[in-house]
Structure 1
Amino acid sequence: MAPTAAAADAGDGEEEQAQALLALLQRVQSEALRALGPHDFDPKLYVDLPLATDATAAAAAAALASLMRLPAPSRGEMDAYISRYFAQAGSDLVAVADPPDFEPEPRGFLPRVESGAARAWALDVHALWRALTRRVSPAVAARPERHTLLPLPGRVVVPGSRFREVYYWDSYWVIRGLLVSKMYETAKDIALNLVYLVEKYGFVLNGARSYYTNRSQPPLLSSMIFDIYMATGDMVFVRRAFPSLVKEHSFWMSEVHNVRIMDNHGRVHNLSRYQAMWNKPRPESATIDEEFASKLTSTGAKEKFYHQVASTAESGWDFSSRWMRDSTDMTTLTTSYIIPVDLNTFILKMERDIAFFAKLIGDMTISERFSEASKARHNAIESVLWNSDMEQWLDYWLPTDENCQGVYQWKPNSQNRVIFASNFVPLWLNAHHAGLERFVDEAKLVRVMRSLQKSGLLQPAGIATSLSNTGQQWDFPNGWAPLQHMIVEGLLRSDSAEARKLAEDIATRWVRTNYAAYKATGAMHEKYDVEACGKSGGGGEYKPQTGFGWSNGVILSFLEEFGWPQEKEIGCSS
């Protein structure tokens, strides 16, 4: 399916101004690459620059045109130009050094953490919320044409380092950590910022930048609302968010994302896929995308590649061999032709959440509709994605030589039998909505657990993302906090003592590697190398980042769930 224009209620004038600034900043990005070379060059920095208060876009564009006429501008010339016409990246965010709901040691904080070393570290991680909490400057709403940052009504928690704005799926694990830290109002602010984006654009953007209005990210807003409600019982908050949850569900059920597939029994199922509304280089990585596309000869082939790159960014797994026909060649990305296990898990969770909230509110019509939708998606996941030989759920690959319309006939050889951590994410559905029928019954959960144990994904420092070491950051040997957390929560809510023990073992490995890396570097990291305790991860199109929102949230969640006894070693085991 060809990409369409971003669904936005923003006025045409505002959109034109945003695009004009982006176009200018992408030219700045290209010139900076010419001046600096690829070493230590981060293209995202340049599209995050706000215009200086005494500069105009027209003057900046004219001055840039003069630079572009030079054979190669020097680093000094480039730096002088940027200093003259732009403010520092991130300066349009205001630090909130003392969030009103932050306490250095909240009452009731981690009562099961007895180890002095573990507790001191946990308080350090808790204190990072102060360093990562921001507000969008009022100047952004007053003069949006000068910023790629989008105005938001409440406080945000940024992931850290190069990520200077709020991100969608990161925010779920940030909120989980904030709830451990008793920072309920900050958690609500983050969720309501995302609600605001749904109200304005029709969906939650990948992140709060004008260059992210063409795609979303793994849809976890309903899970944020659910967990905040379970912690606070705040029905006013639920009523405020509820219409946006229904609206977001419509976005993921639209023709852009919905796929109809007929199983071997003649039943037609609706499942979802990632598909960005974009066929140009991503502004935040334009120079990188253009370099890859230079291998392609036709304009049409380049546009298809750009569409797949943006669709992969929507998945949150940017990048991984999971989305490539050839894991050595980025131009073979085929994400919009894949029905992902985890995406459909998240949407089923969304449907269960909406049914739950509608019942709370008293709208039984919507509650029953979404309860039926969740059951239908459950059947679809089991019919299309479950593989009984491997005892895992597998991504399903659609044919790329057909137009993405109509109904596809299910074929068993279209399941991707390569092992990824995402194959086990449906276990997470067992961790929520007590009283409902479990997504995975106990006998099946034990079989899935055995499959996980034999998969090769379990490593000394956590769960690997895949078994393929491709140099991509969502591949081996990297482990990511969200994947550890979802699989651990799913195993933990089992009647099987062995599954619960495995959950605690995985969490222990993850806590230890995070702690050891923190003691060695003084930082929490975006990802970790699961082959070696205490080693941060690598690979991908940017340098490894610290901060780090979702790593902080998962560590606090694991310490709350499992505690840490005094006699248990917190660092890497010998």
Structure 2
Amino acid sequence: MSISLVHTGKDMAFRLGSLASVFPSATVYCAANCADTQAGCDKSLLAVVQRLRIFDDSKHFVDLPLLPGRRPERILEYWDAEFGRRVLEEETGDRGAGSTGIPAADSEESVATPTFRLARVQGTATDFEEVRRFLLEHFDFAPGGDLLPWVPADTPELEPGGGSLRERQHPQTFLSELRQWVATHNIDLETWIVDMVSRWRSLGRQTSPFVYREPERFSLLPLRYPFLVAGGRFRECYYWDTYFIVRGLLVCGMWETARGCVENFLDLVEQFGFVPNGARIYYLNRTQPPFLSDMVRCVAEQAPPDWDVIAYLERALPLLEREYNFLMEQRSVQMRSGGILNRYHAPTADGPRPESFYEDSQLATACFVDVIGDPRRNELFIALTAAAESGWDFSSRWLRDRRNLCSIRTHFIVPVCLNSFLLRLERNLAYLYAWCHQGSRPPSMSGLGTSAASAADETFRHDEVAQHFWASAQRRVDTMQQYLYVAKRGHWVDYDLEAGSSTLHTVSDQNQTVSASNFFPIWGGLLEHLEATEAASIARVVLKSFGEQRFAMCWWRRCDARCRLWSTVGFSQRLAPRATAAL
């Protein structure tokens, strides 16, 4: 196949405008640059529809299925022939079949040339109603037709009553604790808990069979297993959202549903070499925070006793390693000291994001970089796409001027969050490889500093692959401590590659550098790679700093002699007293 891409080894990052050989529908939903249409980029179907605001939400159009029998290449031929010309075409042919003269039958084979009259495309003077009529002839105006509702069979059935929750199936420790808490506090959460658990029923989706039979009609990437969506305009599954969904499913005892969600992502890595931002073709030029190894691990750890965990790991581990290699090859930065850290980046972003086309184009105009070919325009679109890859779209962390979106420069920032996630990924790979090769679950690497190192040495002594990834994690910790940790602030801070210094030195107000992400290395397991005395000292300083930042409803908890950061989910009154035992 012939695809324009950035390619390193076996893994690929796609240019959306050049996916037609693999995904024919990409010519409609993704192509907006000048090379993709005879009419030019300012008159392409995607650009005109988004510029005219045919739909209030830019994502609406790129999620619309084509009508049955419509082929993307023919639709673009019609569009270029009519909307791309500077003269109006006179009406020809029989109009009896419809307003555009297209036969009512599903097949377009009998239509040799366009036989309808439409308005020309000429800047902002393009006729809104004529463009809308064109879309009605070719698109299903109701997005979501590529997915079907699905109710997870393992959803727990809860009902309130008598001051406690009666669980009719899948009793879980967490739910039991909530029941006891509700019973002993003057707070009405029973109905809330029941409602939250029951929402799994309304958020379940599965891929429509039509997507498999006629993939050229859809922007959706078909998935084997049913999955859960975030809801609202987010009709498909998303990468790091699904991590939190999987954790919630497991809390509710919905292991089968959680495993299906993880299997879908393993399939995506097998197909593309990475997990796209979401399950749409227009997300194929970026990924999201790499949580797949955590999903695999928590599913394996909570598997039923009779399930073949080793076979599961044997399938998952090569794919997790492939994702890791993608991130290390295409999202890595070599620091001055020789160490390697990672950044969010989207080098193949060659235009506005299709699902936010109007907003990105308007920003380019506002930032005075709306001239085609202006390198600043390309940099802006890369930075915006990289910010979407981060999952923090759009945090002021990515802005040189924290109050001006035109100063976005995501791909020049080495972020604390991503490197904490990569640290966790390396640790998970070491742990899961040891589990797979030894045939049994190894003990967790717990404790601070030397105690964790001793446990790791014992666990990985006879496993070369596990040792490799644990050593990679150690090297990352050393580099993070050198470039990201700011002792006087008591936490980690993003690093500015252009300035060659912490972002503390590149913004006028240092308080603007405070973010929850500054504390993610604790969750990533960084303290376990430091010498015990140093780790304990940093833990005390970080705890004090965290308390001073006044992040809402968070606390520390001791777990296996190490400090971890936990965020509340509404039950802080019960758990807050444990914070005093953190050190």
Residue 198 in structure 1 maps to residue 285 in structure 2: no
Answer whether contact 1:4 1:278 (CA < 8 A) is retained: no
Picking from 149, 154, 160, the partner of 1:101 is 154
Moved more, 227-236 or 348-357: 227-236
Q: What does residue 225 of structure 1 align with? A: 296
For 2:350, the equivalent position in structure 1 comes to 279
| 1:52 to 2:67 alignment | yes
Match of 2:520 among 416, 425, 429: 425
Structure-2 change in CA distance of 1:335 and 1:412 (3 Å): closer
Q: What's 1:172 paired with?
A: 243
Match of 1:22 among 22, 29, 46: 29
Whether the aligned pair in 2 keeps the contact of 1:351 and 1:370 (CA below 8 Å) is yes
Any gaps of 5 or more consecutive residues in structure 2? 33-42, 84-117, 159-168, 439-462, 578-583
1:78 offset after TM fit, Å? 5.3
Check the 8 A contact 1:341/1:425 in 2, yes or no.
yes
Matched, 1:151 2:222: yes
Q: C-alpha distance in 2, partners of 1:429/1:148?
A: 35
How far apart, in 2, do the equivalents of 1:193 and 1:563 lie?
Answer: 37
Overall identity of the aligned pairs, in %: 29
- Distance in 1 between the 2:324 and 2:533 partners? 20
After TM superposition, the structure 1 stretch with the greater mean CA deviation from structure 2, 409-418 or 175-184, is 409-418
Structure 1 position 358 matched with structure 2 position 433: yes
- Counterpart in 1 of 2:92? none
Matching of residues 15-164 of structure 1 within 5 Å: 15=22, 17-23=24-30, 27-28=44-45, 30-33=47-50, 35-36=52-53, 41-58=56-73, 60-61=75-76, 62=78, 65=83, 66-69=118-121, 71-74=125-128, 80-87=133-140, 88-96=142-150, 98-105=151-158, 106-109=169-172, 110-114=175-179, 115=182, 117-164=188-235
Helix, strand or coil at the partner of 1:309: helix
Q: Secondary structure at the match of 1:354?
A: helix
Query: 1:430·1:440 contact (CA, 8 Å) conserved in 2?
Result: no
Structure 1 residue 185: deviation in Å?
A: 1.0
Would the alpha carbon gap of residues 412 and 140 (structure 1) be closer, same or farther in structure 2, given more than 3 Å must change? closer
Distance 1:31 1:156 in 2: 33
Change (3 A) 1:60 1:391: same
> 1:450 deviation in Å?
0.9
Q: Distance in 1 between matches of 2:250 and 2:527?
A: 16
Do the aligned partners of residues 373 and 399 (structure 1) sit closer, same or farther apart at CA in structure 2, a change above 3 Å counting?
Answer: same
* Separation of aligned partners in 2, 1:436 and 1:414: 27
Query: TM-score, normalized by length of structure 2?
Result: 0.72
SS in 1 for 2:466: helix
Residue type of the alignment partner of 1:338: I
Tell me which residue corresponds to 1:333.
408
Structure number, greater radius of gyration: 2
Mapped to 1, the partners of 2:527 and 2:301 lie a distance apart of 11
- For these two proteins, the number of residue pairs brought into alignment is 464
Residue aligning to 1:258: 332
Distance 1:28 1:370, change over 3 A: same
- Cα 1:384–1:190 shift into 2, 3 Å: same
- Aligned counterparts of 2:51 and 2:298: Cα–Cα separation in 1: 47
What TM-score results when the alignment is normalised by the length of structure 1? Answer: 0.73
Distance 1:203 1:432, change over 3 A: farther
Structure 1 residues 60 and 214, CA gap change in structure 2 (3 angstroms): same
In structure 2, what is the Cα distance between the partners aligned to 1:24 and 1:371?
A: 42
Structure 1 residue 443, shift from structure 2 partner = 3.6
Question: CA distance change for structure 1 residues 283 and 113 in 2, over 3 Å: closer, same or farther?
Answer: same
Distance 1:306 1:94 in 2: 33
Q: State the partner residue of 1:444.
A: 538
Show CA shifts across 1:451-503 (max 9, x none): 01212x424xx4xxxxxxxxxxxxxxxxxxxxx6xxx5x6453869xx89x96
Q: Output the amino acid matched with 1:22.
A: Y
Superposed displacement of residue 442, structure 1: 3.7
Distance 2:533 2:283 in 1: 33
Q: 2: distance between equivalents of 1:384 and 1:243? A: 31
Measured after TM superposition, the shift of residue 351 of structure 1 is: 0.5
Q: Within 5 Å, which residues of 2 pair with 1:305-454?
A: 305-362=380-437, 364-399=463-498, 417=510, 418-430=513-525, 441-454=535-548
Return 5+ residue gaps in structure 1 as ranges: 401-408, 463-483, 513-557, 565-574
1:7 aligns to 2:12 (yes or no): yes
- Displacement, 1:413? 6.7
Contact residue 21 and residue 146 of structure 1 kept, 8 A:
no
Distance 1:84 1:78 in 2: 10
Give distance in 1, aligned partners of 2:542 and 2:321: 32
CA contact (8 A) 1:430 1:439 kept: no
Deviates more, 1:24-33 or 1:212-221: 24-33
The corresponding residue for 1:493 is 559
Alignment deviations for residues 56-93 of structure 1 (CA, whole Å, 9 cap, x no partner): 33554426833554834346x55544343212211101
Q: Report the CA distance shift for 1:13/1:323 in structure 2 as closer, same or farther (over 3 A).
A: closer
